Every structure is written in C-alpha cells, then in structure tokens.
C-alpha cells in the first residue's frame, strides 16, 4: 500500500482534524470572547473541506484506486457526495447557532469545535470500508452529538435530551457492536469486501443474526421505526441549531453508512435483509405520519417528519440497485434542503423578547403579519408533503419509481398511500398560518444570514429546483455507481 496516496485521499479528514485542534487551542487561550472568531473559522474549514472532496465527485472517482489504508476508507464519488452534504449542512447549522445560543447565554467556543469533530466523524462514517472504521466514525459523531444535545445546560429540556440520547445511543452502540462481533466471528474479517466474499458461499444463522443486529443498531442511528423513540424528545430538547444539525448532517451520515453496509458488505445477501427494510420503511412512514398529527410543538413535529422521510428513503434501499441508491441520494438532497429551510424559518419565529416560538398554535395568522416568512414555511410544508409543483415531489417520485422498477409494486403502493396521511399534518400548519385569526406572537427581528439561508433553500425546493434536477441526477447516478464499485 502506498502511504502518500492514502494520506492524499484522506485530505478532507486531515484538514478538519487539524482545523479542529487549532480551533481548540484558540478556544483555550481566547476564552468565550473568541467564540465568534472560532465560529467563522469553523465554517471556513467546513466549506474548505467540502471543496477538497468535490473533485472526487466531479471526476466520478470509483473503484480500488480511491481506497485508502487497505480499503478501510473509501474516498470515492459516493462518500464525496455525502460529505459535501454533511459539511455544508454542518456549516449552515453553525451559521445560525451563535444568535440562538448567545441569547441563552450558552454560547461557548467549544461549540464550533464539537460541530467540526462531529462532521469529521460523519465523514468517516460515509467513507467506511471496514467495520472498525464504521464504528470509530460513528462514535466520534455520536460523542460530539451527545454533548451538543445538552449544550444549553441550564435548560432542563436540553440536559434531558442529552442524557436520553446518550443512554439510548450507548444501547444502540452495544447492539451494533454485538452484530459486528457476530459478523466478524462468522466471516473472519472486518473488511466489507472480505465480508461480502466470505458470505458468497451462503449465509449461516450466526451471520444472519449479525446482519439483523447491525441493522437494528443502524436503524437507531437513522431513527427508523421501531428504534425511533428517542427522536422526538431529543429533537425537542436540544437547542434548535443542534436539532438542525442532527436532522441534516447526522441523518446523511447515518443513511450513507447504512447504504455502505447494506449494499456493500451485505450486498449479495439482499434476500436476507430486504423484508426487514420493507417493514422498517413502511412502519417509519406510517408511525411518522400518525405520530406527527397530535403534535403541538413544531420541533417535535419535525422529528416525526424526519422519521416519516427516513421511511421514504429506505424504500430506495429496499430496491437494492443503482437506481434505488441514486433515488435515495436524490431524496436525501431534497430532504436536507427542506430541513435546512424549515429550521431556518423556525429560528426566525421569535416573540418580542427574542424567545423562540415553538407552539404551532401561535403561528396562526402569520401570513398577515409576516407574509414572506409565511410563504417560506408554506413552501417547505408543501414540499415535505410532496405536492407536485414543488421539488419535494420529485424525490418521492424517484424512490417509488425505483421500487416499481424493482418489481415491488406493493411497497410502492403502500408507501404512496401512507404519504397521503403525512400530507395531512403538513397542510394543517399551512392552514394555521394562512386561515386562522392572527395570534400576533411572532415579532422578533432576524439577521441577514438566516434570511439568506432561507431564501437559497426555498428557491431550491421551489419549482425552480427542477432546472437543477438533470445536473443533480447525473451526480447521484455517479455516486450510486461508485457505491456499488467500492468493494
């Protein structure tokens, strides 16, 4: 193995780790005053790292030439695609965080540093080619995430969210490790390519248990039913920018990792896990949709919405081919854009004291007091519901099409029917905003960054986004092909 080649391939990871360490030193000497500078530098590092990974995607990097460290890390087009999403959504969470945390008096210079390390771990997850790399990346991401969830430590809900996330996350890690040790025991290797080769002769019961436990651990991380229980509490309790980070960056990492494991290491055992994925996908769609109906808090609603959307994404995984993987990535991009827009709009909903307005009932009549913000929220909700002229529809269409093309008509039909339930609660918010008597609760002012993020993402998910769909489709196809070439 060529060391310099390997070290060149992990340049984005090196950049982020060194940036994180330097920022930590600045934090140690600069103290709380340096928070702003460190936030700016962290955003710069994340954006810079995404520029570093971009060439691999544009060149369509795939195959063994782009595997570093004996295949433990894959720096191919797939990981490049996912890393761009991860780094940019982490940067966008960091842009909106200082305003929020400063008001709580919870902004500390370690916040951007932890976000950088969490993004670093997420990047390792999506480029993992080995069970060890998978676990190390996952833990790096999770440990930072536990701390971030309880970052507003004077707030009881935030502390509770952090504790709950930590305990349940540790449980999920245990389940995942158990599955990994079974897989290692019955295949004799931790490398994905080795596992795939070893299972080619047939699947023993022990290895099947390994797959099931690994899948259970991963389902927790992507918050799919039946391992979704932590999501509403953690999303509600965590500071809103952190929730945004979990719902975007963390979600891409976990789904990218799931795709790597299921389509890579267990790619030839599709028959063994397809039925599990089908069940998890449908259950996530239904539970996410039904659970959201009764919610009064917008952050809890977004948590159920994320469970619901993960279900749709998993439909693409059940197809288990390049088309399905490509559809998953396409959906993921749209979901990230909608979530970033949704949370940016949510952070702009403040009362006259600058406190966050989270109760849906208080949004009533927003269209008359804040027409621009109301329009943005309406676009996000319609897009999440998958109403045709908006871009969100295209993601759902692609995953259903992948399922139909893979002869899974029943799955596509059930998913389609269940998406109608989901439309109900999204439309309910639009109704509250546009047709209820004004409650006049939203009064706060917002800075230019929130507005910029909101406008950019709203334009992307509006019908104008279709102009980019050809380009995006090309990228997702390249990334999905690279995923299947990674072994």
Partner 1 sequence: MIHVIAFYLFAVMTVGSGAITILARNPVHSVLWLILAFFNAAGLMVLTGAEFIAMLLVIVYVGAVAVLFLFVVMMLDIDFAELRAGFVRYLPFGALVALVLLAEIVLGIGAYRAGSLDLGTPDGTAAAGTGLSNIEAVGALLYSRYLFLFEAAGVILLVAMVGAIVLTLRQRSGTRVQNIRKQNMRRPDEATVNVKPESGKGVQL
| Binding stretches for partner 1 (CB under 8 A) | 6, 10, 17, 20, 24, 68-70, 72-73, 108, 110, 113-114, 117, 120-121, 124, 130, 132-133, 136-137, 139-140, 143-144, 146-147, 150-151, 153, 162, 184-189, 191, 194, 198, 204, 206-207
Q: Smallest gap, in angstroms, from Cβ of residue 268 to partner 1? A: 15
Residues 6 or more apart in contact with residue 416 via CB below 8 angstroms = 400
Q: Give the integer Cα–Cα distance in Å for 284 and 289.
A: 8
Question: Do residues 66 and 55 make contact, with C-beta atoms less than 8 angstroms apart?
Answer: no
The Cα-based distances of 280 to 211, 215, 229, 307, 415 in angstroms read: 15, 10, 14, 11, 12
Q: Smallest gap, in angstroms, from Cβ of residue 188 to partner 1? A: 3
Between 150 and 306, name the residue whose CB sits nearer to partner 1: 150
Question: Do residues 279 and 411 make contact, with C-beta atoms less than 8 angstroms apart?
Answer: no
What is the SS3 assignment for 262? helix
Q: Give the integer Cα–Cα distance in Å for 125 and 119.
A: 10
DSSP 280-322: HHHHHHHHHHHHHHT--BHHHHHHHHHHHHHHHHHHHHHH-SH
Q: Smallest gap, in angstroms, from Cβ of residue 332 to partner 1? A: 24
Q: Smallest gap, in angstroms, from Cβ of residue 463 to partner 1? A: 42
Between 234 and 317, name the residue whose CB sits nearer to partner 1: 234
Burial of 389 (0-12, 13-18, 19+ CB in 10 A): exposed
Between 199 and 302, name the residue whose CB sits nearer to partner 1: 199
Q: Smallest gap, in angstroms, from Cβ of residue 447 to partner 1? A: 25
What is the SS3 assignment for 78? helix
Between 9 and 376, name the residue whose CB sits nearer to partner 1: 9
Between 40 and 143, name the residue whose CB sits nearer to partner 1: 143
Residues 6 or more apart in contact with residue 418 via CB below 8 angstroms = 282, 285, 286, 289, 311
Q: Smallest gap, in angstroms, from Cβ of residue 118 to partner 1? A: 8
Number of helical H runs and strand E runs in the chain:
21, 2
Q: Smallest gap, in angstroms, from Cβ of residue 151 to partner 1? A: 7
Q: Smallest gap, in angstroms, from Cβ of residue 210 to partner 1? A: 10
Element (H, E) at 130: none
What is the SS3 assignment for 225? coil
Between 184 and 279, name the residue whose CB sits nearer to partner 1: 184
Among 330, 315, 313, 341, CA closest to 468: 330
Between 124 and 292, name the residue whose CB sits nearer to partner 1: 124
Between 136 and 290, name the residue whose CB sits nearer to partner 1: 136
Between 132 and 427, name the residue whose CB sits nearer to partner 1: 132
Q: For 128, list phi and psi in degrees, rounded to 5.
A: -65, 140
Q: Smallest gap, in angstroms, from Cβ of residue 120 to partner 1? A: 7
């Amino acid at each position: 193995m060529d060391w310099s080649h390997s070290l060149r391939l992990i340049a984005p990871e090196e950049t982020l780790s060194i940036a994180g360490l330097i920022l930590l030193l600045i934090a140690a000497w600069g103290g709380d005053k340096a928070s702003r500078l460190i936030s700016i530098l962290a955003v710069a590092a994340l954006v810079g790292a995404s520029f570093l990974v971009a060439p691999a995607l544009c060149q369509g990097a795939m195959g063994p030439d782009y595997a570093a460290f004996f295949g433990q890390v894959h720096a191919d087009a797939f990981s490049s695609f996912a890393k761009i999403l991860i780094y940019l959504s982490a940067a966008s969470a960091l842009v909106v965080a200082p305003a929020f945390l400063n008001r709580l008096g919870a902004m500390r210079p370690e916040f951007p540093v932890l976000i950088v390390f969490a993004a670093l771990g997420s990047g390792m997850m999506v480029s993992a080619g080995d069970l060890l790399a998978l676990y190390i990346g996952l833990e790096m991401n999770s440990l930072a995430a536990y701390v971030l969830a309880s970052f507003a430590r004077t707030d009881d809900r935030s502390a509770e969210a952090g504790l709950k996330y930590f305990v349940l996350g540790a449980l999920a890690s245990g389940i995942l490790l158990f599955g990994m040790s079974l897989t290692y025991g019955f295949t004799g290797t931790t490398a994905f390519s080795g596992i795939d080769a070893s299972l080619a002769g047939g699947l023993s019961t022990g290895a099947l248990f390994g797959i099931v436990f690994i899948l259970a651990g991963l389902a927790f991380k992507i918050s799919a039913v039946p391992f979704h229980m932590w999501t509403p509490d953690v999303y509600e309790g965590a500071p809103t920018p952190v929730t945004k980070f979990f719902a975007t960056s963390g979600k891409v990492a976990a789904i990218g990792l799931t795709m790597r494991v299921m389509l890579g290491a267990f790619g030839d055992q599709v028959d063994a896990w397809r039925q599990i994925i089908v069940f998890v996908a449908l259950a996530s769609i239904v539970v996410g949709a039904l659970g959201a109906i009764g919610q009064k808090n917008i952050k809890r609603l977004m948590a159920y919405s994320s469970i619901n959307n993960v279900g749709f994404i998993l439909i693409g995984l059940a197809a288990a081919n390049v088309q399905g993987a490509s559809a998953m990535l396409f959906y993921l991009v749209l979901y990230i854009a909608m979530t970033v827009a949704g949370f940016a709009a949510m952070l702009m909903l403040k009362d006259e004291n600058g406190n966050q307005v989270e109760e849906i009932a208080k949004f009533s009549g927003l269209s008359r007091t804040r027409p621009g913000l109301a329009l943005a929220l309406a676009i996000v909700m319609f897009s999440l519901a998958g109403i045709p002229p908006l871009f969100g529809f295209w993601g759902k269409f692609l995953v259903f099409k992948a399922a139909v093309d893979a002869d899974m008509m029943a799955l596509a039909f059930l998913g389609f029917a269940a998406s109608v339930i989901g439309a109900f609660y999204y439309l309910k918010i639009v109704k509250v905003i546009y047709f209820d008597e004004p409650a006049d609760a939203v009064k706060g002012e917002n800075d230019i960054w929130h507005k910029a993020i909101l406008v950019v993402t709203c334009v992307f998910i509006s019908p104008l986004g279709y102009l980019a769909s050809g380009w995006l489709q090309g990228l997702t196809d390249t990334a999905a092909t690279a995923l299947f070439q990674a072994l």
